[in-house]
Structure formats: C-alpha cells, structure tokens
Structure 1
Amino acid sequence: MMRPATSHDVAAIEAIVQAAYAPYIERIGRKPGPMLEDYHQHVEAGGVHVLEHAGRVRGFIVLRDTDGALLLDNLAVAPDAQGLGFGRLLMAFAEQQALGAGFAAIRLYTNEAMSENITLYTRRGYVETHRAEEHGLRRVYMTKHLQE
C-alpha cells in the first residue's frame, strides 16, 4: 500500500536509509547524499510516500516538482524486503505521479559509484543526460520521457 508519509514514519524511513545506503560508504568514500538528508523536513514539505507491506514501512520515495519534470529525489527499499518487487512498485508510482501532475518526463540522479542503480534505471527506460559533481558527490543525471 502506498500512502503519503507522516511524522510517525520518519524513524522507519531513516532506518531504511541507513540500512540501504551504508554498503555504499566504502565504495564512495563517504556517506551517500541520502544519508545526510533531514527526513523530518522532507515529510513536512510533502512529496514523500511510503510503501507499507504487512503493517510495516518497507520502502519510500521522495518526489519533487522541478522545471518541466518530476524529480525522483530518493527511493529506497529495506534490504530485507529487496527482491520482492517493491522497487518496481515505487518506480511505477513515481511515473504515475508525474503523469498525474501533467509532466511529460521524470528525472533522477544517482551516485556514479552506484553502477547497479544506473543499470536498473537504464532498463526502466531512463537515459543519461549528464554527469556533475555536487556537494562533493559525483552524480549521474537521467531522464525518462513518459507517455500516457
């Protein structure tokens, strides 16, 4: 079940972030960007949705309106719930939200060291648009053009 996140979900979101992104610290050489975010602030601002399964938050997504496209700012699934299709559900939800808001495209970025994410997004129809270094993080930006 997908629903907007509330302040009661922040602890679960933070736990998922820590578990999902900690394996990348060594590869990147520092904490990935999502581990540095203020999720209380994100939830208060809106655009955060959680995926519940069996009464527990198993994943979440952070979406932001930008110029001409919806930004998929962050997506994570609890490591013990990975492989159950929750990531695909979250991605499909993001694309539905983009279309529902009248956007013709959805954008995202990931750390270039997270090569498996780049492969996954490419398989889902995202195309790399550019690379940039921001806040000391080397990011790969990707866009998917949507059709109703």
Structure 2
Amino acid sequence: MTADHAEIYSDNRRIWKVTDNKKEYIDLLLLADEQEDMIDKYLERGEMFVLDDNGIKAECVITKESDGVYVLKNIAVSPECQRKGYGKSLIEFLFSAYRDCNIMFVGTGDVPSSLTFYKKCGFTESHRIINFFVDNYDHPMFEDGKQLVDMVYLRRER
C-alpha cells in the first residue's frame, strides 16, 4: 500500500487521494482551519485524502517535513459525523499508507475536546507555539467557546 492508492475499509467506506482541484473540497477543511489563506500555505504542497462513506465524511492534508517526519496539517470531519470513528480512521490510514512515517505531528488549539481526540489516537503532547492563533489569524479564533491562543503540537511515533 502506498499513499497513492485508496484503501477499502468496507463496502461503503473508502479513502482516496485528491490529486487535482483540491480547492473543491475546501469547505470541510475550513471547519478545522477557518482562514482560507492559512490553508493555502499547505494545501498544494501537502497530500490530501477524503474519506467517503455514502458521501464525504472527513478529509485531511498531510505534509512531509523531513525523512520519516510528517505533519497532519488539517483533519476535518463533518459535524454530523463526528465521534463515529472517521477521524481516527483517517489517522490510521495515514500510518498504514506512509510506511516511512516514524513521527507524525499535529497542531491544534488548547481545548479539551481536540486534545482528548488526539490522545485517544495515540498522540502525546510535544510542544507549544505561544500566541500562534493570535499572531497568525486575522480574527479571534474560538473552539468550544474558548479563544484559541497557543498552538499545541502533539506527536505520535511508530
């Protein structure tokens, strides 16, 4: 299996790589990163995957930063499909598809719901970028009613 091929999970659920017209799928990505010019910074250099289960349920973008090191730049699940295993399926798919991935990082806001999700997926806290959301977004960002200030990076090792 390589990252160039879709992996079938069941009769209805499949994941495929988007190679052209990635912006067609931007609406879902904007749920996880609500400023389009920030997505533009990684969308074309990253590889994008869509999870389809009788309709698109989740998407992600991953970048290779160095040998064996990848960053999950964006992962988004449709609100009505959250807490049904779609996000975790995408993360497990990435680890199976990128066999050279020894370390995967993901950055997120400092909110319990996000941190709990990533910890359940095997990530542990790595480091923080102080004031990331304040310094890089043109408006205050909120998640779960809390203003996002610092970017929390988590890591998962193979």
Q: Any residues of structure 2 matched to 1:1-148 within 5 Å, and which?
A: 1-7=14-20, 10-11=23-24, 13-18=25-30, 20-21=31-32, 34-38=33-37, 44-54=44-54, 56-67=55-66, 68-98=68-98, 100=99, 102-112=100-110, 114-133=111-130, 134=132, 136=134, 137-146=149-158
Counterpart secondary structure, 2:34: helix
Segments ≥4 residues shifted beyond 4 Å: 6-9, 38-44
Contact 2:70 2:101 in 1 (8 A): yes
Alignment-mate amino acid for residue 124 of structure 1: C
Q: Matched residues in 2 for 1:70 and 1:120: separation?
A: 19
Aligned counterparts of 1:49 and 1:65: Cα–Cα separation in 2 = 14
Tell me the CA shift for residue 9 of structure 1.
Answer: 5.7
Q: Which runs of 5+ in 1 are unaligned?
A: 22-33
The equivalent of 1:29 in structure 2 is none
Relative to structure 1, the CA distance from residue 89 to residue 122 in structure 2 (aligned partners, 3 Å threshold; closer, same or farther) is same
Change (3 A) 1:53 1:10: farther
The RMSD of aligned alpha carbons is 2.3
The structure richer in helix per residue is 1
TM-score, normalising length: structure 1: 0.73
**Structure 1 residue identity aligned to 2:84:** L
**Overall identity of the aligned pairs, in %:** 22
1:135, CA displacement in angstroms? 5.2
Task: Name the structure 2 match of 1:25.
Answer: none
| Post-superposition CA distance 1:65-117 (Å, at most 9, x none) | 0134111111001112223221111111122233x2x12111111011x3211
- Deviation at residue 8 of structure 1 after TM alignment: 5.2
- The Cα shift of 1:57 comes to 1.7
